[in-house]
Amino acid sequence: MLLELSEEHKEHLAFLPQVDSAVVAEFGRIAVEFLRRGTNPKIYEGAARKLNVSSDTVQHGVEGLTYLLTESSKLMISELDFQDSVFVLGFSEELNKLLLQLYLDNRKEIRTILSELAPSLPSYHNLEWRLDVQNNKKVMEMDALPVLRFCVNVKEKHGYKDQVWPRKRENLPFRVGVFNIGSLEGFKVSMNLLKSHTKWCVHVFF
């Protein structure tokens, strides 16, 4: 899997060949620090004075390197794919090797930081469902009205939570038939229709 870089990111990374390898390595450290604690204009200003360039140039270089490292770490691309991704930038072999080493040295920590920054959303844990058939009369000259109940167990940050939804026949997402069980033959037909590979619990009250 190759990483696709926009023209804007390529422009930001174009500053890297203009500095020596020690500066690129320092930019890599700043990029990881940027993910951990957020941006710090003073760092950009200090580096800009040392390199005799504008702080915006330094900031764009760090942001471009941050994107390169975070997206590569997020996708966990291989060494070969990373090299192919940066090859299109036209950097020297030495710089490409340095960028690869920055990626290999920091991808585990970057993935940890990204997982901590991700919002904690409820996730699926388990699903239970039950089909009830309502029959409120002692005589069986009536239609059976099915009600499907869902119980979804979701995992949240501080534990688990159940969410229950009763669904009646008229608003089910699939078709459930209504069976007249007023005769013995009708009852047998209804019971046969219930037979499937799924386990059914049927209660008939007289």
In whole angstroms, give the CA distance from residue 82 to residue 98: 12
Tell me the CA distances in angstroms from 129 to 35, 36, 120, 180, one per residue in order. 43, 43, 26, 24
Q: Are residues 21 and 110 in the same domain?
A: yes
Task: With respect to residue 1, please indicate whether it lies within any of the assigned structural domains.
Answer: no
With tokens 């009600």, the residue in question is: 147
Task: With respect to residue 200, please indicate whether it lies within any of the assigned structural domains.
Answer: no
Long-range pairs, 137-146, Cβ under 8 A, ≥24 = 138/206, 140/181, 140/182, 140/187, 141/182, 142/180, 142/181, 142/182, 143/178, 143/179, 143/180, 144/178, 144/179, 144/181, 144/190, 145/169, 145/178, 146/176, 146/178
Containing structural domain, residue 141: 123-194
Task: With respect to residue 90, please indicate whether it lies within any of the assigned structural domains.
Answer: yes
Calculate Rg over the CA atoms of the chain: 31
Task: With respect to residue 43, please indicate whether it lies within any of the assigned structural domains.
Answer: yes
Task: With respect to residue 202, please indicate whether it lies within any of the assigned structural domains.
Answer: no
pLDDT in tens, 79-96: 999 998 888 888 888 889
Q: Are residues 44 and 109 in the same domain?
A: yes
pLDDT in tens, 148-194: 777 888 877 677 777 776 655 555 544 444 444 444 455 565 556 55
Q: Are residues 27 and 109 in the same domain?
A: yes
Both tokens of 9, joined, read 């990111």
pLDDT in tens, 30-62: 888 888 887 778 888 888 888 888 888 888 888
Task: With respect to residue 37, please indicate whether it lies within any of the assigned structural domains.
Answer: yes
Q: Are residues 100 and 139 in the same domain?
A: no
Task: With respect to residue 129, please indicate whether it lies within any of the assigned structural domains.
Answer: yes
Look at the chain and report how many structural domains it folds into.
2
Task: With respect to residue 204, please indicate whether it lies within any of the assigned structural domains.
Answer: no
Q: Are residues 190 and 130 in the same domain?
A: yes
Long-range pairs, 49-53, Cβ under 8 A, ≥24 = 51/19, 51/23, 53/15
Q: Are residues 99 and 187 in the same domain?
A: no
Q: Are residues 175 and 96 in the same domain?
A: no
